[in-house]
């Protein structure tokens, strides 16, 4: 039974893969800078609302905060998840493999909202609780894919490397990790893409991000606000996902020609 978390492709076979990241990024920038001037279009969604353009904070600044939170959580998750998976695939740590797998899975059994509710009393309102929630929620894909990628490396390849005089550290760094990189990257891609959307709930506990317009829209019954936040988050997720897809393709091409 495979432990990997598979990634999916949004690219059309008729469009070069390298074009998609630029296309989604251009659409994201167009939305960020265009919404303040799109009152006429947004007014069609909420003709009776006093305001339809979200003015409490610029979408550009909210995007920066959103990316910062997701990046910090991703860094913690990638480092922690990969180190844990590497440790339990070594001879001395194999007994702890089931424990690490279960602990990683445990993070996704709790809804992010529940994690926030538990974290706020201890950590207060703001950015820190949502980072904790994202770390817990994003660990599983990275741990599983790192485990799957390392376990699928051909044992004969590792034996040959050892026979050539490589130390265990050199085998890991020069053989196992490069061969497992596409699978590990697929887990990182899944984790970050999911967390870009999940981070929006941080606005409910005072974290400034792209969830602000969505929460404001829900509270005020303003669909125009919700569309501005939701569309920006969706385009951000598509941009990041397509970038990772392109990176995966480059890694596969490099490995196939090595």
Query: Quick check: 8 pLDDT over 60?
Result: no
Residue 146's H or E segment, with its range, is helix 127-151
The count of structural domains within the chain is 1
Average of per-residue pLDDT across 208-220:
94
CATH code of the domain in which 72 resides: 1.10.3720.10
Point out the least confidently predicted range of 48-52, 75-79, 185-189: 48-52
Return the residue matching tokens 């703001």. Answer: 126
In a domain, 193, yes or no: yes
> ∠ CA(201), CA(50), CA(206), 5° rounding?
20
In a domain, 42, yes or no: no
Point out the least confidently predicted range of 68-72, 83-87, 90-94, 234-238: 90-94
Q: How far apart are CA 58 and CA 47, in angstroms?
A: 22
Radius of gyration over alpha carbons of the chain, in Å?
Answer: 21
173: DSSP letter: I
Range of the domain at 251: 57-257
Average of per-residue pLDDT across 165-176:
92
206-220 burial, b if ≥16 CB within 10 A, otherwise e? ebbbbbbbbbbbeee
In a domain, 52, yes or no: no
Enter the pTM of the model. 0.88
Task: Say if residues 184 and 149 touch (Cβ distance below 8 Å).
Answer: yes
Q: How far apart are CA 117 and CA 256, in angstroms?
A: 47
Q: How much is the mean pLDDT over the chain?
A: 89
Task: Say if residues 128 and 69 touch (Cβ distance below 8 Å).
Answer: no
Q: How far apart are CA 235 and CA 31, in angstroms?
A: 9
In a domain, 250, yes or no: yes
- The two tokens of residue 82 are 């990969």
- The two tokens of residue 45 are 């969604």
pLDDT, tens digit (0-9, with 9 covering 90-100), for 90-149: 988 888 988 888 888 877 777 778 888 888 888 888 889 999 999 988 999 999 999 999
In a domain, 159, yes or no: yes
Output helix, strand, coil percentages for the chain, rounded to the nearest 5: 75, 0, 25
Which residues, 6 or more positions from 104, have their beta carbon under 8 angstroms from its beta carbon?
81, 84, 139, 140, 143, 144
The two counts, helices (H) then strands (E), for the chain are 11, 0
Query: Quick check: 181 pLDDT over 60?
Result: yes
Helical packing angle, 127-151 and 112-123, nearest 10°: 130
In a domain, 43, yes or no: no
In a domain, 18, yes or no: no
In a domain, 23, yes or no: no
Q: How far apart are CA 108 and CA 85, in angstroms?
A: 17
């Amino acid at each position: 039974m495979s432990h990997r978390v598979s990634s999916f492709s949004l690219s059309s076979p008729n469009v070069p893969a390298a074009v998609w990241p630029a296309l989604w990024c251009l659409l994201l920038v167009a939305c960020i800078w265009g919404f303040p001037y799109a009152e006429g279009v947004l007014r069609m969604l909420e003709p009776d609302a006093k305001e339809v353009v979200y003015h409490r904070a610029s979408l550009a600044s909210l995007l920066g905060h959103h990316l910062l939170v997701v990046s910090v959580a991703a860094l913690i998750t990638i480092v922690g998840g990969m180190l844990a998976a590497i440790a339990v695939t070594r001879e001395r740590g194999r007994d702890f493999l089931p424990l690490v797998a279960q602990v990683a899975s445990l993070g996704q059994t709790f809804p992010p909202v529940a994690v926030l509710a538990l974290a706020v009393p201890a950590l207060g309102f703001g950015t820190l609780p949502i980072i904790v929630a994202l770390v817990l929620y994003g660990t599983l894909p990275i741990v599983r894919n790192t485990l799957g990628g390392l376990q699928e490396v051909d044992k004969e390849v590792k034996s040959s490397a050892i026979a050539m005089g490589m130390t265990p550290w050199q085998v890991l760094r020069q053989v196992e990790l490069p061969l497992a990189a596409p699978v590990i990257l697929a887990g990182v891609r899944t984790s970050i893409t999911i967390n870009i959307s999940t981070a929006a709930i941080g606005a409910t506990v005072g974290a400034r991000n792209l969830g602000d317009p969505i929460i404001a829209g829900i509270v005020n019954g303003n669909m125009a606000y919700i569309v501005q936040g939701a569309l920006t988050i969706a385009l951000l997720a598509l941009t990041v996902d397509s970038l990772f897809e392109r990176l995966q393709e480059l890694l596969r091409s490099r490995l196939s020609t090595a």
